[in-house]
Structure formats: C-alpha cells, structure tokens
Chains A and B, each alone.
Chain A
Amino acid sequence: MWKIFLVLAIGFAIGFLGLLKEKYIKLNCRLQTLWLMLLIFCMGVSIGRNGEVIRNLPALGGKALLFAILAVIGSILFVFLLSKLFFEKEGAK
C-alpha cells in the first residue's frame, strides 16, 4: 500500500513543480488511457486464471452478481442524494 502513496506523491511533485514540458504533459495524458487499458486487461487475466472464480461461477455467480449490482445501486443512490443535499451549491458538475 505504501507504494501507491509513493508513486502518487512522486507524480504529484513532478506535476506541481512544473518539471514537464507541455508536450510531455499531453503525452502523459494520452499514455494514461494506455496504462488504464493495460491494467484492466491484466486484471481480467488475473480473474480468468483464478480457478476458484471460474469453478464457482456456475453455482454462486448469479447470487454474487445480485449482491454486486444491488450494492452498487445502493452506493450510487446514497452518494448521489448526499451530494445533491450537501455539495451542489458549490457548482459541482
């Protein structure tokens, strides 16, 4: 977990101190999409090669999906309502 803080902090310092030229900032922006896609692909691979996930999917996958969908819907509803009630005045988009 400390690695996450470290790379975020180093990146932040580089951006904050203005160490990058304009063209590298644009490049960073474009590369970000590439890293994101590579990360998602690699995470897909982790799931696909995990025998436990694939084995249990037929029996428990439906139930698990129900929990995932309802937990996600619940979170979105609560956060949306709380943000409307307490944040919106500040012109959040």
Chain B
Amino acid sequence: MSMAILIVLVLGILGGMYMPMGIAAFLDEASSFMLLILLFSVGIDLGLNRQVFSQVRQLGFRILLIPLGVILGSLCGGAIAALISQMHFKEGMAIAAGLGWYSLSGIILTNAGNPVGGTISFLSNVFREMLTFILIPFLAKYLNSYSAIAPAGATAMDTTLGMISKHTDGKTAVIAFMSGITCTLLVPVLIQFFL
C-alpha cells in the first residue's frame, strides 16, 4: 500500500510539473472535491460501527494525550533539526509547529518578516503530509493504531483521515479527527508563541 501511494504521489507531482496548465489547474481544484467525497465515504464507515462513540467516550480526557504527544514530539523534532542546521531553537520550533498545515505555517512566518523560515516551514510541512501518507500503513502494522495518528498532526481532520480510517479502525479514526481539530486550532497559537 505504501509503495502504491508513493508511486501515485510521484506520478501526481510529475503530472503537475509537466501536464498542460489547464488540466493541472483542474486537478488542483478537484482535490478539494475528492477530499469531500472521501470523507463522505469515511463517514458512512464510521456510522456503520455503532459502538464507536461509546468506545471513544471511555477514553475521556485521555484523548487529549494524542494531540499533546503530537505537539511535544514535533517541537522536540524541530529543536533538534534547528540544532543540526544551526538555526535558532525558536525558529526551528516555529517551523515544526506547523504540524503539517503548510498553507498557514508558511504564511505566518513569512508575514513575520522571515521569508526563508516561511519557505522552509511551507516545504517541510508539505513533506510532512507526504511522509504521513506513506508511513500510516507501517505504523498501524508495526507500532499501534495511535502511532498512525502521530505523523498526521493537523491533517488528521481532513486529508490524511481517510488513510488513517482505512488502516486502523473506527475508534482510531474518531480519535484522529479530534486530534486533528485540536492541532489545527493550536497551530496559529504555537507558531506565534515561538516567533
């Protein structure tokens, strides 16, 4: 599955670079439509599993541990990456605080007068989303279903939710969605904090 995804992703990128502008623009527009169809399909799956919400309710406040782990882990990763590439810790953590939401994180850093940091943040969060697609099947299989939510960060509520739902179970998909919402709400706050 991961291999198939990598191939489709690379074909898409090459397609975007070399196909006629009109077709590429159409497919770019189509991606938000595809997302809605996919989430509709995921919604049906979740509805079929009637115990989902009682299972999730059992976890209670512990559900917040998932986005907490995602955020702490990302910030630590960002700090180490800053150390390796000889940047400021705060800048590194601001880059990693994008949690996969590339369109927002890049703009905030750029508008704060750091266009290079903004571009690194934009690219690294694009890469994060790609890595997430490829890693989810591995993580679900070799670690546990919660770990499969981890790389997704803010994207767990939209683009990578279908992938998580496909490779884990209904309960994990609901937790992923809630973790994604929490991360999404916190991304702007976190980036501002480290600026």
Shortest C-beta distance, A38 to chain B (Å), equals 5
Q: How many residues of A contact B (CB 8 A)?
A: 71
Judge whether B70 and A83 touch: CB under 8 Å: no
Judge whether A49 and B28 touch: CB under 8 Å: yes
Judge whether B166 and A68 touch: CB under 8 Å: no
- If A32-B38, A48-B24, A82-B65 touch, whether A43 touches B143 (CB-CB below 8 Å) is no
Judge whether A8 and B39 touch: CB under 8 Å: yes
The secondary structure that dominates the B interface is helix
Chain B residues contacting A72 (CB-CB under 8 Å) are 77, 128, 131-132, 135, 150-151
Q: Which residues of A contact B (CB under 8 A)?
A: 3-4, 7-17, 20, 25, 28-29, 31-33, 35-50, 52-54, 56-57, 60-61, 63-84, 86-88, 90, 92-93
Q: Which residues of B contact A (CB under 8 A)?
A: 4-5, 8-19, 21, 24-25, 27-28, 30-31, 34-50, 58-59, 62, 65-66, 68-70, 72-78, 80-81, 84-85, 92, 95-96, 99, 116, 119-129, 131-133, 135, 139, 143-147, 149-151, 153, 157-159, 162-163, 165-166, 169, 177
